[in-house]
Amino acid sequence: MDTTLFLFAIGPVKPFIENSRKARDLYAGSYLLSYLMKEVIKELHNRDARLKIVFPLEAQSNVPNRLIAQVDQYSQTEKEQLGQQISKFVQQRFVDICRNVFSASNVSPNPMAMQQIEHFLEVYWVFEQQPTYELAYKYINASLNNIKRLRYFKQMNEPVGRKCDLYPEYNAIIVKRRANGMLPSFVDASSAIDVTNIGTCKYALKLGEGLSAIAFVKRMLHLLHVKELPDYKLNISSVAYMLLKNSLGEEKYNELPLLQNEASEALFDLQNGQQLSTDEYSLEHIRISQALNQQISLSSVRTSPYYAIVKFDGDGMGQVYNDYADQQIQEKLSKETSQFSNEVRRIIVEQGGICIYAGGEDFLGFLPLDKLFQTMYELRQDFLANVKAPVSYGKPLTFSAGIVIAHLMQPLNRILAKTGDMEKRAKESFADKNAFAIGLVKRSGDQLVFQSSFGNDGKILLLINQVIVSLAQKEYSKSFVYNLNQTLTRLGSVKSDNKQRIIQVLIEQALQQSTSLLTKDEFNQQSSMLYQLYLDFESDIERFQSFLQFVAFVSREVN
């Protein structure tokens, strides 16, 4: 009997998740895609015993946006009915959730808002019947790609006016007035929904912000957590709270948990010399922030406004699935990546980070700077130990990561785009991929970038972490970095067969000039570690210099 596969996909993935201003927006987009696919899986399970879902596994924390099911006994009519009915089901489920969000927010959606909602979701489905599973799998993915290339869309006729701050293809409909009481500039007043004085929305939007219906649903999705979305993580913290919790600790500062949402940004506003306004924060949050700020000013604790955002993706996983289009191999791989994604979430939470999504071998999340490299090492070791390539593949499966260090005041959507660029850079810089690229974006606008292979053991991550810790603990001064960088710049144009030995000596000399606290063994350990990092950067002086500048900066921002 021939094998017939059914592929169903929901989109758009990237704008659904990444068009965000807050961590809560990010999480809501990721959650909604996963939730809708889980609802599709449940619906398919309830429909017909003849249908068998191959992957994804429903048990994983974040389900990918596509599924493949085997439907060998379906007639042509049944196939068409299944595709149409599941498409209608998921579209209606999305519309229902959006309506319920508006209802829970005490906001009535107008016709333009509903039009945006009804036009947003993209649904693709295709069937493929072939003599074998292998052929069916290869053809069905090609067919889906061909369908997507058609770029089917529904035309929307919105009037000229202010565009959404997060989705510029849509008009801003839900708005909060500016400090002067006026609507945001260029908003079409006839279609605007003013939420300035609605209690549930009072602090959800900033002054003068204008959102489309889609952006508003993401921002307010948490209101459905009790009845409709019981597994929604209401306690998804803001990035500001993640940083405060990591620096201060909830045990010592017992009022800190009261700032768990975006109200934690008030404390950073105070540290930046800003006046807190009741248009942005409640009186209670202002009081708590001021009291905590007073406590912090009397202590030696530093609360850095810099954080790390990490995005990684399995290397060549799509090609692995295509090359090994065997159902048992694919089911095994799907199970292993599903288990890994659950472990990722556990590890990130244990390290005080925020997991936006962990689906299969894909991940996006935030980490405090002092936990970044140790956590990345742990994640990579877990991946290598638990996600196994087919026996004949000949090498271990790996992932590549994009990492950006950024300031809280910088727009999140730009930092997300930079993180995607870093992930792409990591994959393109090395033939075997298995790499990471790091971008540092200072508040001043200065930037630097470097990349490296993880190597076979990933221990470069631990070496970087040790250098940061040594600098932070002042085992040697940061003048070491400046002095060595200056010398390396002058050395760059020098041609010598003994260049590596010269650089080893220069590292030792610069280190010796910057410390008198290290014992001989400690000195040898530090100089060997730094020289090993130079070798890990493929003896590339410019990359090593960027690394030195990076660790000098980050060491000032960690406790």
242-268 pLDDT, tens per residue?
A: 998 888 876 666 777 777 777 788 888
What element of type H or E holds 127?
A: strand 122-130
Say if CB 173 and CB 191 are below 8 A apart: yes
Amino acid at 284: E
- 410 vs 250: CA distance, rounded Å: 26
Q: In whole angstroms, how far apart are CA 398 and each of 78, 233, 257, 311, 337?
A: 40, 29, 37, 14, 12
Please answer whether residues 394 and 372 qualify as being in contact, where contact means their C-beta atoms are separated by less than 8 angstroms. no
Read off the pLDDT band of 549 (50, 70, 90): very high
One-letter amino acid for residue 449 of the chain: V
DSSP type of residue 445: S
Least Cα distance to 174 among 106, 232, 236, 263 occurs for 106
pLDDT (tens digit per residue) in 67-78: 999 999 899 999
pLDDT tens digits for 115-129? 999 999 999 999 999
User: What pLDDT was estimated at residue 493?
Assistant: 64
Query: What's the chain's average pLDDT?
Result: 88
Residue 474: pLDDT band by 50, 70, 90 thresholds? confident
Say how far apart CA 133 and CA 512 lie, in whole Å.
64
Give CA torsion, residues 420, 425, 427, 432, to 10 deg.
-160
Among 153, 280, 167, which Cα is nearest to 213's? 167
Half-sphere exposure of 513 (CA within 13 A, CB side): 13
Looking up tokens 């922030």, which residue turns up?
289
CA–CA separation, 461 and 455 (whole Å): 10
- The H-assigned helical ranges of 196-351 are 213-220, 239-248, 265-271, 283-297, 317-323, 327-350
pLDDT digits (tens, 9 = 90+) for 355-364: 998 887 889 9
Query: Which residues, at least 6 apart from 540, have a Cβ–Cβ distance to it below 8 Å?
Result: none
- What's the pLDDT score for residue 227? 67
Helix, strand, coil distribution of the chain in percent, nearest 5? 50, 15, 35
Q: Are strands 435-441 and 399-407 parallel, antiparallel or unpaired?
A: parallel
Give me the sheet containing 210-211, strands edge to edge: 193-194, 174-175, 210-211
DSSP string, 427-440: HHHSTT--EEEEEE
Name the nearest CA neighbour of 351 among 375, 329, 335, 373. 375
pLDDT value of position 100: 94
Q: Which residue type does 186 have?
A: F
**Quick check: 497 pLDDT over 90?**
no
Mean pLDDT of 198-226: 89
Q: Looking at the predicted structure, is the pLDDT value of residue 145 above 70?
A: yes
- The Cα–Cα gap between 31 and 11 comes to 13
**CA distance readout (Å), 126 to 33, 67, 506, 553:** 19, 11, 62, 51
CA angle 390, 458, 17 (to 5 degrees): 75
Residue 34 and residue 345 in contact, taking contact as beta carbons nearer than 8 Å:
no
Counting Cα atoms < 13 Å in the Cβ hemisphere of 41 gives: 20
Task: Check if the beta carbon of residue 510 is closer than 8 Å to that of residue 490.
Answer: no
pLDDT given for residue 57 in this prediction: 73
Locate 52 and state its tokens. Answer: 């068998």
Please determine, for residue 478, whether its predicted confidence score (pLDDT) is greater than 70. yes
* 160 Cα distance to chain centroid: 33
Q: Which two tokens stand for residue 405?
A: 């260090």
**Main-chain phi, psi angles of 452, to 5 degrees:** -160, 155
**Structural contact between residues 224 and 232, judged by C-beta atoms closer than 8 angstroms:** yes
| 355 backbone dihedrals φ, ψ, rounded to 5° | -95, 110
Map tokens 């220069």 to a residue: 506
Q: Which helix (H) or strand (E) holds 533?
A: helix 520-536
**Confidence bin at 310 (pLDDT 50/70/90):** very high
Amino acid at 293: N
**What SS3 class is residue 352?**
coil
Q: Give, in order, the Cα–Cα distances in Å from 333 to each of 55, 67, 179, 387.
A: 10, 14, 54, 7
In this prediction, residues 180-205 reach a mean pLDDT of 90
Maximum Cα–Cα distance across the chain: 81
Q: What is the pTM of this model?
A: 0.91
